Structure 1
Amino acid sequence: MKVGAVIVSAGKSQRMNGVDKQFLKLCGKPVIAYTLDAFLACKDITPIVLVVPDDSISVYRDWLNKYYGFYEDIVVTSGGMERQYSVLNGLRALPEDIDIVVIHDGARPMVTPKLIENGIEAASKFGAAVAAVRVKDTVKRSDGQHFVERTLSRETLWSIQTPQSFRYDIIMRAHTLAMEQGYLGTDDAVLAERAGYRVKLFMGNYDNIKITTPDDVPVAEALLGQRHYESHVDSVGYRSGMGYDVHRLVDDRPLILGGVNIPFNKGLLGHSDADVLIHAIIDALLGAAALGDIGRHFPDTDDSYKDISSMRLLRQVNNLLESGGYVIGNIDATIIAEYPKLAPYIWPMRRCIASVLGLSIGQVNIKATTTEGLGFAGRQEGIAAYAVASIRKAGE
């Protein structure tokens, strides 16, 4: 199943007193960066189409270059006069073989990878699904003259959010029909409804707010401040660990680094898939938590780990850290290999690792270097990797 995303950031920010809310700083970080980080943490989503004002394309590309460096999974395209037209432009920028598309407002920075993945799962099952939360307040319908006509039952009322997820053919058909009929809807779900499709509601988050007016900014900063307290490393309770691993290059084995299958005429020899980068990261994380090393937890004498994906082992290590009350701050790793050239694969590796560990892509850094022909790596006999990781006790 191929999944793409359309993030709409083409509004004029008229209710923000002319300030471009996408680059408005929340706790020191632009609104759009929070949104993109959540989508980048879902490694199966590619590409991500960012829809921006036509006169701001170069601004966004320059910012992406500065903020992410290498962003091959993000496509920037221009929006339209209305949000609906911007979404359609984004849909048209996706490859035709996309199965599921996730549509989200760039100004909803509180979205989480889990919420995005829940929408993908619902759309793959039902065809169309939207994030929503139950209405808490009593809602009354007026008669148009500010008198109550009727009190509505809260049991059937939901407030709709994004992300909204659809089978690609469904949402394209819905948008095409709306365009033909000259209909302008308030969200993408209503277009699917008008086209005859049933839309599934899945539980959103009450803190998944949209930055619309200046009053929303302090609320968002308060929510993000709470997340920072719960999830990010500070100077209290800080711990670090280092990992190192090396594997021999041999014929007739796939070369897998950072969870990415890399085209090469040789692969790494090992009991598992021999992903030397992930093994170094695992040892760094275990070392930071004083939990031993990879051989202690996943011995090569155990046949259950034969040819296992190292990403599965990384996930198990993350579970160990969580059960011990630890959260990961950041990971920095270096791969030492003469060949192949790894620059094109660094970004997919970062996304893959961040996704498995539930981190933002900014918390994972990977570098690659050669030994200028010296040593076993220079002679292409093997590949090595170093990694350092920081963790802390949750709540400290």
Structure 2
Amino acid sequence: MTAAILLAAGESRRFAESCPDAFPWKSKLLVPLPDGRPVWRRSFDLLARSPTVRHIVVVTDEEAIRTEAESIGATVVLGGETRALSSLNGIEAAVGARTVVVHDAARPFATSSLLQRVLDATAEAVAAVPVIAATDTIKRCSSDEVKETLERSSLYHAQTPQAANRDALLAAMRAHPDATDEASALERSGESVRAVEGEATNRKITTFHDLEGLLRVENRTGLGYDVHRLVQGRPLVLGGVVVPFDRGLEGHSDADVVLHAATDALLGAASLGDIGAHFPNTDPACKDASSDRFLRHALDLVRAEGFQVANLDVTLLAEAPKIGPFVGAMRDSMASILEVESSRISVKATTHEGLGALGRGEGIAAFAIATLERWLPR
């Protein structure tokens, strides 16, 4: 019997560190590919399609992967502190297998032809590894000094899937827990490993840049507007900041026109209705409520659709008070609510040049434009 082991236990640390701040997936294995499947599932399906593979062991610490893998009949075991120890956990779980094939989940572009070549070679040898010839000149260096140039005609890059006799591989991995792959553990144990032709397209996803050409960014823009009358006996709250003034804005909530306009801008960009639909002015729970609650709710909704806030631009229309001294605090307040840098928030103010009700100082209005972005498969 042949069992497959899918290694999906890496921390994705280098990937997460290389991602843009707004990129929603910090685990490379959960990123959706152009066909809609996440990276790990595409690798899993390669193994599942093989007529030779009878059982699959998934090695992972990721709960989302564990849940789905178990639902489709795979055995799931936890990863180890290193790749070698994770591989060992999977090999030990493949009880009853004569041959095991180990594949990195971060190589979702391996083909069925490659898998079969590796398995066919293992039928005639203890183990097999796919390799591709090195095309760059390779240097051996010490710190910042080049020691020698290696003869590249005999240098190859190793890939997965790698296959081997289970008993031989189990012994080798136990003896060499620092091995960087299965083939190297077998080599160090004195076993012969067959090299088979790999695939240049079988690239490993390690950093965000390895996804180049696989994802596209969708940008959405939304416009929000709100206006409230100025009245006596109410505090003036703008952008989550209390502004000293002799009057405040009248409304069911705290009547913060800045946060209301921003809320509508986010909802509009994601086609999720408006603030009145989510927080009607007849709802007693909204009576005198702080408007940061509304903006946080809008943020939760757009994030559920896969969006992140790229930018928010607000313009206040007010004859008085002077807004300039409070712009920095407003930007910081909204940045905190939206969990973005203050540099992504803009607040401006202008008067209405004495025209109409706003020009007479009877109220304050605000416009807001929100730009959202999300990554989608190409």
TM range (shorter): 0.5 to 0.7
- Bigger drift between 109-118 and 147-156 goes to 147-156
Measured in 1, the distance between the counterparts of 2:194 and 2:90 equals: 22
- Map 1:167-246 to 2 at 5 A: 167-178=165-176, 183-219=177-213
- Map 1:91-240 to 2 at 5 A: 91-96=91-96, 98-142=97-141, 144-178=142-176, 183-219=177-213
Q: Which runs of 5+ in 2 are unaligned?
A: 18-25, 217-378
Q: Which residue pairs with 1:41 in the alignment?
A: 49
1:8 aligns with 2:7: yes
Give 3-state SS (helix, strand or coil) of 2:212's partner.
helix
Give the share of equivalent positions with the same residue, in percent: 32
Which residue type is aligned with residue 5 of structure 1? A
In structure 2, relative to structure 1, the CA distance for the partners of 1:149 and 1:37 (3 Å cut) is same
Measured in 1, the distance between the counterparts of 2:205 and 2:148 equals: 31
Q: Which residue pairs with 2:21 in the alignment?
A: none
TM-score, length of structure 1 as denominator length = 0.50
Which residue type is aligned with residue 123 of structure 1? T
Alignment counterpart, residue 30 of structure 2, candidates 23, 26, 51: 23
- Map 1:229-308 to 2 at 5 A: none
Measured in 2, the distance between the counterparts of 1:127 and 1:136 equals: 28
Deviation readout 1:332-357 (Å, 9 max, x if unpaired): xxxxxxxxxxxxxxxxxxxxxxxxxx
Shift of 1:216: 0.4
Q: Which residue pairs with 1:322 in the alignment?
A: none
1:78 aligns with 2:81: no
1:63 aligns with 2:68: yes
Q: Which residue pairs with 1:373 in the alignment?
A: none
Q: Which residue pairs with 1:90 in the alignment?
A: 90
Q: Which residue pairs with 2:281 in the alignment?
A: none
In the alignment, is the contact (CA less than 8 A) between 2:69 and 2:76 conserved in 1?
Answer: no
Which residue type is aligned with residue 28 of structure 2? K
Shift of 1:44: 2.0
In structure 2, relative to structure 1, the CA distance for the partners of 1:153 and 1:34 (3 Å cut) is same
Shift of 1:185: 1.5
Measured in 2, the distance between the counterparts of 1:199 and 1:108 equals: 21
In the alignment, is the contact (CA less than 8 A) between 1:5 and 1:101 conserved in 2?
Answer: yes
Give 3-state SS (helix, strand or coil) of 1:49's partner.
strand
Which residue type is aligned with residue 159 of structure 1? H
In the alignment, is the contact (CA less than 8 A) between 2:101 and 2:164 conserved in 1?
Answer: yes
Shift of 1:219: 4.8
Give 3-state SS (helix, strand or coil) of 2:6's partner.
strand
In the alignment, is the contact (CA less than 8 A) between 1:209 and 1:220 conserved in 2?
Answer: no
Measured in 1, the distance between the counterparts of 2:13 and 2:167 equals: 33
CA RMSD of aligned residues (A): 1.8
Q: How many residues align?
A: 207
Shift of 1:220: 5.2
Shift of 1:221: 5.7
Deviation readout 1:57-91 (Å, 9 max, x if unpaired): 4x3243347xxxx623x211111111111111111
Measured in 2, the distance between the counterparts of 1:14 and 1:3 equals: 32
In the alignment, is the contact (CA less than 8 A) between 1:129 and 1:164 conserved in 2?
Answer: yes
In the alignment, is the contact (CA less than 8 A) between 2:12 and 2:28 conserved in 1?
Answer: yes
Give 3-state SS (helix, strand or coil) of 1:206's partner.
coil
Measured in 2, the distance between the counterparts of 1:8 and 1:156 equals: 28
Shift of 1:48: 0.7
Q: Which runs of 5+ in 1 are unaligned?
A: 223-396
Shift of 1:194: 1.0
Give 3-state SS (helix, strand or coil) of 1:190's partner.
helix
Which of the two has higher C-alpha Rg? 2
Q: Which residue pairs with 1:309 in the alignment?
A: none
Which residue type is aligned with residue 139 of structure 1? I
In the alignment, is the contact (CA less than 8 A) between 2:60 and 2:66 conserved in 1?
Answer: no
Which residue type is aligned with residue 176 of structure 1? R
